[in-house]
Amino acid sequence: MTIAVYSGEIPSTTFIERLISGLVEHGQQLILFGIRHGSNHYSNSVTVVGYRHNRFSKALHLLKFTLLLLLFKRDAKRRLDSFLKASDRYTLNDKVKCYPVLWHQPEIFHLQWAKGIADWAWVQEFGMRLVVSLRGAHINYSPVANTNLAEIYHQTFPKVDAFHAVSEAIAREAQKYGAAKDRIQVVYSGLDIPNSERLSKHASNSTVFRLLSVGRSHWKKGYVYALDACAILKENGFKFKYTIIGGSDSIELLYQVRDLDLEDYVDLLGQVPFDTVKAHMTDADLLLLPSVEEGIANVVLEAMSLGTLVLSTDCGGMTEVIVPGVNGFITPVRHVDQMADNILAISKLSESEKAVIRDVAHTTILKNHRTGLMVQNMLQIYKHATKE
């Protein structure tokens, strides 16, 4: 079975790259299409059909696949061209994207970003099976704000061969746009956790409670709520330090920190290497996920695997990972008073209570969020799609 994992960028995001390497380890032949950045680091099982983001590279790419199709798949090219013209997509950019896929014709075309579905509905006309991942913003809010996108989903989702949902919650959301329930399979994100890894958490010696959030400064991360909660904590005389890794470029957050007089309590850091993130996580007393929208936040899984306590909002699929009081803590989305109350309550837990929760959290990750499990479940989706 040849599988195209398509995100449009080569390499892609961390979790898509994790899927790619997992599939390769399971002996799958993969094809990656799209714009290439950096050098090729993939194994021989991965065929990279990419171009650089410049006119010359695109022109060569287009010329190559136009000639191949004209010489060996003339009818197929004519059909694809007709489709592109009919959908008003007969542009050079569209041809650069589509011709290589038509030439290689993988059995499975796995589209990672649902927003692009209108560009790829044609693959089914040529015998390829279309698998679509249901992730975060693409399902949870973009179609709410963009009625045209919602209409595209309504037209295309019923025809998709199989869906990969990152959470039960997002699977339910996708059904609102016509995705058939029996074609959606929930596959949770997986982490690479060596069996030998032990929890490195020790009792904290710090005199202040160390809160940590990690993620880009996007509104969906809900940092404004976390900072409002910090203002409440400060008012209550609670001694804490809140670090947001990835928040330093946001004027909104910088202003809020100053406006709420939180300069001594909050550090906004820029992007840092993953090892530094892990070090911050290991040091933190609590990882806070104040998001208003998520599929399932990988940063929470990482923290749980490292033995750091997690307080997450109940957005998206987070309650599918965290059982409150058992392996972490949940706070209602957009409710700063309760967020502050929960932080205070967690800070008062005894070391033995914390240790139990950390152990259960670590077990949760080992049981439900390993790369191997994720890949096995993805392969099931592909097999199911090809059987139908």
Partner 1 sequence: MQRKNKIGLVLSSPPGYSETFFRNKIRGLQEHGYEVVLFVENLDQIPDDLNCSIYAASNFNGGIVLKVMTFFGVLIRSFIFHPMRTMKLYQLDKADGVSITKRLKHIVLNAFILKHHVDWLHFGFGMLAVNRENVAQAMQAKMAVSFRGFDLYLSPLKHPNCYVNLFQKDVYYHVLSEEMKDDLTHYGIRDERIFVITPAIDVSFFKRPEALIKNSDHTLQIITVARLHWKKGLEYTLEALEILKKTGVTFHFTVVGTGSEYERLVFAAYQLDILEHITFIGKTSQKDIKTYLENSDIYLQYSIQEGFCNALLEAQSMGLLCISSDAEGLSENILHEETGWVVPKRQPKLLAQKIQEVQSLSDSQKATIRHKAVSRVQNQFNLERQVQAFLRLYQL
| Residues near partner 1 (CB under 8 A) | 140-142, 144-146, 219-220, 224, 228, 251-252, 254-256, 258-260, 292-293, 333-334
From the CB of 342, what's the least distance to partner 1, in Å? 18
**In terms of CB distance, is 22 or 143 closer to partner 1?**
143
Q: Which two tokens stand for residue 137?
A: 């913003």
Q: Identify whether the C-beta of residue 148 lies closer than 8 Å to the C-beta of residue 168.
A: no
25: alpha, beta or left? (left if phi > 0; alpha if psi -120 to 50): alpha
CA atoms within 13 A on the CB side of 387: 7
**In terms of CB distance, is 100 or 247 closer to partner 1?**
247
Q: Residue 222 CA to chain centroid, in angstroms?
A: 17
**In terms of CB distance, is 154 or 220 closer to partner 1?**
220
Query: How far is the C-alpha of 204 from the C-alpha of 156, rounded, in Å?
Result: 52
From the CB of 109, what's the least distance to partner 1, in Å? 28
Closest C-alpha among 184, 190, 193, 230 to residue 210? 230
CA atoms within 13 A on the CB side of 338: 12
Cα distances (angstroms) measured from residue 125 to each of 2, 70, 102, 217, 384: 17, 18, 10, 40, 19
List, in order, residues 6 or more apart from 351 with CB less than 8 Å away: 203
**In terms of CB distance, is 100 or 295 closer to partner 1?**
295
According to DSSP, the β-strands at 286-289 and 108-111 are unpaired
From the CB of 337, what's the least distance to partner 1, in Å? 9
* CA-only gyration radius of the chain, Å: 23
**In terms of CB distance, is 257 or 379 closer to partner 1?**
257
From the CB of 254, what's the least distance to partner 1, in Å? 4
Query: How far is the C-alpha of 31 from the C-alpha of 119, rounded, in Å?
Result: 18
From the CB of 141, what's the least distance to partner 1, in Å? 4
**In terms of CB distance, is 283 or 314 closer to partner 1?**
314
From the CB of 149, what's the least distance to partner 1, in Å? 11
**In terms of CB distance, is 161 or 228 closer to partner 1?**
228
| Amino acid sitting at position 184 | I
Query: How far is the C-alpha of 140 from the C-alpha of 297, rounded, in Å?
Result: 14
Q: Identify whether the C-beta of residue 297 lies closer than 8 Å to the C-beta of residue 304.
A: no
DSSP state of 127: T
**In terms of CB distance, is 253 or 311 closer to partner 1?**
253
Number of helical (H) and strand (E) elements in the chain, helices listed first: 17, 14
**In terms of CB distance, is 82 or 146 closer to partner 1?**
146
